[in-house]
Amino acid sequence: MLTVNEIFYSIQGESTYAGRPCVLVRLSACDLRCSWCDTPYAFYEGRKMSLDEVVKEAESYSCPLVEITGGEPLLQEEVYPLMDRLLASGRTVLLETGGHIDISRVPAAVVKIVDVKCPGSGESDRNHWENLERLQSHDQVKLVIRDRIDYEFARTTLSRYRLDRTCEAVLFSPVHVVLDPKILSEWVLQDRLPVRVQLQLHKYIWGPDARGV
Ligand code: SF4
């Protein structure tokens, strides 16, 4: 069984897939508490569903793109057969993970979007740094940036792990309504960083507090 917070069909909001129609499967529970977390409702709320039920509901939208997110999806053992089943059906599968759990068991065909937690999250000591050595060329790394301290941490991480050479994209995402995207963009341009400044598209389409869209 899986504990599922919600399954819905919407526009993918973060990553190089942003803007594409996508089925999102949000699994419940997380063992981090990022200061800016925008899905705290996923910490505890959820319904038990069998693997077959989750696959059936995800496939009911006839969408070739599925994202598994959370909460922290890698906390549930059955996420691995879920990824296998969705891949076997021919879908492109994205996995968003907080970056503190080993990603080495994730099927190679899954596009992993791996967070690196900056100091402003309050969880940077939980980063599982070995994950950054296991990235594949189609994977992406996301750093949510709250202030200049976070930006400098992100810049150092980019350079130390040469992330722009090892994965598809490095996403620098300002904390919504906390760090002005213009300021982050200016920093990136000044330093000529090979990253992608990313806004959370779904918040601009549906509103910052909308759920299930
Ligand atoms: S890892 Fe994600 S779900 Fe968990 S607290 Fe951080 S932002 Fe929220």
Which residue is closest in CA terms to ligand 1's atom 6? 34
Q: Residue 109: pLDDT band by 50, 70, 90 thresholds?
A: very high
pLDDT(172) > 80 = yes
pLDDT at 208: 85
Q: What is the pLDDT of residues 2-40, one digit of tens each?
A: 999 999 999 999 999 999 999 999 999 999 999 999 999
* Mean pLDDT, residues 107-129 taken together: 98
* Ligand 1 mean position, distance from CA 155 (Å): 21
Q: List, in order, residues 6 or more apart from 111 with CB less than 8 Å away.
A: 15, 17, 92, 93, 94, 95, 138, 139, 140, 168
Torsion of CA 99, 182, 13, 133, to 10 degrees: -30
* Ligand 1 mean position, distance from CA 118 (Å): 12
Q: What percent of the chain has pLDDT over 90?
A: 94
pLDDT at 127: 98
34 CB within 6 A, ligand 1 = yes
pLDDT at 212: 79
Task: Indicate the SS3 state at residue 56.
Answer: helix
Q: Which of 34, 74, 178 to mutate to test the pocket of ligand 1 (most atoms within 8 A of CB)?
A: 34
Answer yes or no: are the C-beta atoms of 39 and 86 closer than 8 Å: no
193 CB within 6 A, ligand 1 = no
Which residue is closest in CA terms to ligand 1's atom 7? 37
Nearest Cα to Cα of residue 153 among 137, 172, 134: 172
Half-sphere exposure of 58 (CA within 13 A, CB side): 31
pLDDT at 207: 87
Q: Which helix (H) or strand (E) holds 187?
A: helix 181-191
Nearest Cα to Cα of residue 139 among 160, 120, 158, 113: 113
* Mean pLDDT, residues 149-155 taken together: 98
- Token pair belonging to 65: 């793109």
33 CB within 6 A, ligand 1 = yes
73 CB within 6 A, ligand 1 = no
Rounded distance between C-alpha atoms, residue 193 and residue 143, angstroms: 14
Longest dimension (CA), the chain: 50
Angle at the Cα of 49 (from 43 to 54), degrees rounded to 5?
100
What pTM did the predictor assign?
A: 0.96
Q: Residue 211: pLDDT band by 50, 70, 90 thresholds?
A: confident
Which residue is closest in CA terms to ligand 1's atom 3? 71
120 CB within 6 A, ligand 1 = no
Average pLDDT score, the chain: 97
Total residues belonging to the chain = 213
Which residue is closest in CA terms to ligand 1's atom 1? 98
Angle at the Cα of 116 (from 111 to 122), degrees rounded to 5?
140
* Mean pLDDT, residues 116-143 taken together: 98
pLDDT at 14: 94
171 CB within 6 A, ligand 1 = no
